[in-house]
Amino acid sequence: MTTSERFQVLRASERPATAWLNGGGVTREVAGFPAEAGLDRFDWRVSLADVASAGPFSPFPGIDRVITLVEGAGMALTVDGVEQLVDAPYRPFPFSGDATTDCRLLAGPVVDFNVMTRRGRVEATVDLATAPAVVEVRAGSTALLVCLAGSAVVGGAEAVELARYDAALLDAAGTYELRPDGVTAVITFCTAH
C-alpha cells in the first residue's frame, strides 16, 4: 500500500488469495471497513473473486450485494429460485445476501467484482467510469476506485496510476480527478438513512 497526500493506493499484487470453503474459487479482498473486521462484522467489503466451478453462494444475512462480471463468459445466478444471467461485462447486478443463490458457469471460469454492505448501516452506489470524471467525496462518506480494465490515473498534482485491479481509497472529503483508460469502478459508501 502506498499513500498519497489524500488517498491510499491498494495494489493488486499485495492482496492474498483466500480459498473458498467449498473449493469453488478464491477471493481477494480489495478493501473493507472496519479494517480487519472479518466476514461477520464488516460494514462494507469489496473483493474480486476467481470462480472456478459452479455451486452455491455463501449466505450473507443482512448484507446487500452487487456483483459485476469482469472476466469470462459469465454465469447464471439462481436467486431465490429465479435465474438471472450475469453474462455482460461491467454491468452491476444487485441482490440480497439473504437470498439462496446458486451459480452455474456459462463457459468456464470467471472473475467477478463484489461489493457488500451491511443493510441499515451503509449504502453503496456502484458506477463504472470509462471517461474522465471528478469524484466528489462528501464529509462522512468514502469512495473506492478500482481499475477493472486497462489503467487509470487518480489525482491532480500528485497523480497516481492504477494498473488493472489496483484501487484507490478516498476517505478524505474533497474532489478527485479520475482519468480511466479502460473501465474503473467508482463505489461510494455513505451511512444508511
Asked whether residue 67 falls in the same domain as residue 146, the answer is: no
pLDDT in tens, 125-144: 999 999 999 999 999 899 99
The helix/strand/coil state of 13 is helix
Q: What are phi and psi of 123, to 5 degrees?
A: -120, 145
- Alpha carbon of residue 135 to chain centroid: 17
Q: Which domain holds residue 170?
A: 122-191
Distance, CA of 193 to CA of 186 (rounded, Å): 21
Asked whether residue 80 falls in the same domain as residue 94, the answer is: yes
- Give the side-chain half-sphere CA count within 13 A for 173: 5
Asked whether residue 162 falls in the same domain as residue 147, the answer is: yes
pLDDT in tens, 45-57: 999 999 998 988 8
Is 28 inside any structural domain?
Answer: yes
Q: Is the pTM higher than 0.75?
A: yes
Please determine, for residue 112, whether its predicted confidence score (pLDDT) is greater than 90.
Answer: yes
Q: What total number of domains does the chain contain?
A: 2
